[in-house]
Amino acid sequence: MTDIITEQATAAASGAAATEQFRTKQRTGTAEADTKRVDTLVSELLAAAHDIIRRRKVTYAEYDALKSWLIQVGQDGEWPLFLDVWIEHVVEEVSNENREGSKGTIEGPYYVPDSPLLSPEATLPMRDAEEGTPLLFQGQVTSVDGTPLAGAKVEIWHADADGLYSRFAPNLPEWNLRGTVIADGQGNFRIRTVEPAPYQIPTDGSCGRLIAAAGWHAWRPAHLHLKVSAPGHQLITTQLYFRGGEHVEDDIASAVKPELVLDPAPAADGTGNEVTYDFVLDKA
Ligand code: MBD
Ligand code: FE
């Protein structure tokens, strides 16, 4: 995958890497080849499009602009980005509506499985002079009944100060700011990293052109991505944000929930900030 990444951090390069990553991925559960379900979903999607065309009297010029834009999204490899920014949040909402434990939110396009295994107290892989305020992120993983989940897996990944994710941008150490932390016997973890910066989705590709054409902005608030799991429990895919940060109120990906906003305080040891956040997992 990394060989697709060119020397430049372009939309096309990160898009190609995200497309390739998605092709190798297995989310649990497969969509049944159920003719009736496909008929229902695709018919309703098309009917919604037809309705907009009639109500808004869409012109041939607009139809052709849409057609060429759709073709270009594929050429840029930006379907993962487009879908995860503008569609995934509703799929996440309906998938997890019956959970009692911690809130989840969208995964986004930049997860990579099998990041380096780290001990319960760990520093994420990073460069010697990694930019950003040091952050101690700690907490406990428990079951909904309060039982601590010994050895729970806390996978974490986030962008660097330039908004770049390792494996999707050039010239970054392979696993920069990614790790799989194994919690201790009480489900506790202590992760040292740096606070990420607000993130702008690539503006030089098709998604960027859409954003500019519609007069929107391209920003997500600064965020940590996490997947938390333990045997016998449902995995949570989530993100955490920072109170008062830019774009917490207007995330382009609509993925912020009030329960997911952290309130870090100056760290007890005087270096950077620290925050505690506990994860509660539903039973499988
Ligand atoms: C991201 O980092 C992200 O989390 C999402 C959802 C979309 C684009 C980039
Ligand atoms: Fe992200």
Instruction: Looking at the CA of residue 223, tell me the nearest atom of ligand 1.
Output: 4
Q: Ligand 1: which residue has its CA nearest to atom 1? A: 108
Q: How far apart are CA 85 and CA 24, in angstroms?
A: 20
Specify the CATH number for the domain of residue 134.
2.60.130.10
pLDDT greater than 70 at residue 107 = yes
Residue-wise pLDDT for 149-192, tens only, equals 999 999 999 999 999 999 999 999 999 999 999 999 999 999 99
Can you point out the beta strands (E) in the chain? 117-118, 121-123, 134-143, 153-157, 178-182, 188-194, 199-200, 219-220, 224-229, 236-242, 261-262, 265-266, 273-276, 279-281
Q: Ligand 1: which residue has its CA nearest to atom 4? A: 108
Q: Would you state the pLDDT for residue 24?
A: 85
* CB distance 109 to ligand 1 below 6 Å: yes
pLDDT category at 92 given cuts 50, 70, 90 is very high
In angstroms, what is the span from residue 100 Cα to ligand 1's centroid?
A: 25
Q: How far apart are CA 107 and CA 97, in angstroms?
A: 16
Phi, psi of 195, deg, nearest 5:
-65, 130
In angstroms, what is the span from residue 155 Cα to ligand 2's centroid?
A: 14
pLDDT category at 6 given cuts 50, 70, 90 is low
In angstroms, what is the span from residue 85 Cα to ligand 1's centroid?
A: 7
Q: Ligand 1: which residue has its CA nearest to atom 3? A: 108
Q: Would you state the pLDDT for residue 19?
A: 86
* CB distance 81 to ligand 1 below 6 Å: yes
Residue-wise pLDDT for 109-129, tens only, equals 999 999 999 999 999 999 999
**Reported pTM:** 0.93
Q: Which helix (H) or strand (E) holds 206?
A: helix 206-214
Average pLDDT, the chain: 94
Q: Would you state the pLDDT for residue 3?
A: 46
pLDDT category at 18 given cuts 50, 70, 90 is confident
Range of the domain at 159: 1-284
What is the tally of structural domains in the chain? 1
Only one residue has tokens 């060429």, namely: 68
Residues paired with residue 191 on neighbouring β-strands, in sequence order: 122, 137
Phi, psi of 135, deg, nearest 5:
-130, 125
Q: Would you state the pLDDT for residue 9?
A: 75
Of 106, 68, 103, 67, the closest CA to residue 85 belongs to 106
Q: Would you state the pLDDT for residue 5?
A: 53
Q: Would you state the pLDDT for residue 170?
A: 92
Query: 179, 118 in Cβ contact below 8 A?
Result: yes
The tokens describing 279, both together, are: 């994860």
% of the chain with per-residue pLDDT over 70:
95
Mean pLDDT of 259-266: 97
In angstroms, what is the span from residue 180 Cα to ligand 2's centroid?
A: 17
